């Protein structure tokens, strides 16, 4: 049987408080990524993000403006994966950037990192390291689409 080639659709949230960006990390991994997850079939992207935050953090959130998208490809356990990340502003009122919030799932952890220094935290997909600070500037002409493919 031939392996199906799929492009996963993910939704990600940019939650910034006091200059700190909320990121997620799979335990034991070197890279970080924005909170969020898969868009389910028939589900609006904004609804997916709010559902994922409820599942992962156990708190309500509000999806804001669409910021942009990043195509991404990477190897995981020797297999190529392809995804499209839809990135939105994200407001989570119950979080304080002075304390890393606990995760509801035991395989991930959340932490706050400086939005101006994303490189040392290995944020993936890597184009987000430059895109996010640009997207957050009110008069920015930063691209809304990037890719690693």
pLDDT digits (tens, 9 = 90+) for 81-113: 899 999 999 999 989 999 999 999 999 999 999
Q: Rounded to whole angstroms, how far apart are CA atoms 49 and 64?
A: 10
**118: alpha, beta or left? (left if phi > 0; alpha if psi -120 to 50):** alpha
Whats the size of the chain, residue-wise? Answer: 149
Q: What is the pLDDT of residues 24-44, one digit of tens each?
A: 999 999 999 999 999 999 999
> Got the DSSP string for 3-43?
PPP-EEEEEEEE-EETTEEEEEEETT-S-BB-SEEEPPTT-
Confidence of residue 145 (pLDDT cuts 50, 70, 90): confident
The dihedral built from the CA positions of residue 140, 85, 57 and 51, taken in this order, carries a sign that is positive
Residue 25 confidence (pLDDT): 97
Q: Is the pLDDT assigned to residue 1 strictly greater than 60?
A: no
Greater confidence (137 vs 129) lies with: 129
Could you tell me the CA-to-CA distances from 82 to 7, 118, 138, 139 in Å, in that order?
Answer: 5, 22, 31, 31
DSSP code at position 56: H
Q: Are strands 62-76 and 145-147 parallel, antiparallel or unpaired?
A: parallel
Map out the domains of the chain with their CATH numbers: 7-147 (3.90.79.10)
SS3 state of residue 83: strand
Structure confidence at residue 3 (pLDDT): 55
Q: Kindly state the DSSP code that residue 102 receives in the 8-state scheme.
A: P
**pLDDT at residue number 77:** 84
User: What is the model's pTM?
Assistant: 0.90
pLDDT at 146: 76
């Amino acid at each position: 049987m031939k392996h199906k080639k799929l492009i996963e659709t993910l939704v990600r949230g940019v939650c910034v408080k006091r200059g700190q960006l909320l990121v997620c990390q799979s335990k034991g991994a070197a890279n970080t990524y924005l909170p969020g997850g898969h868009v389910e079939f028939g589900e609006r992207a904004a609804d997916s993000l709010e559902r994922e935050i409820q599942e992962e953090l156990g708190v309500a959130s509000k999806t804001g403006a669409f910021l942009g998208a990043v195509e991404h490809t990477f190897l995981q356990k020797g297999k190529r994966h392809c995804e499209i990340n839809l990135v939105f502003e994200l407001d989570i009122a119950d979080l304080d950037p002075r304390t890393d919030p606990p995760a509801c799932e035991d395989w991930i952890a959340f932490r706050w990192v400086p939005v101006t220094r994303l490189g040392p935290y290995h944020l993936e997909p890597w184009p987000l390291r430059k895109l996010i600070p640009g997207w957050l500037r009110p008069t920015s002409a930063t691209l809304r689409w990037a890719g690693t493919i």
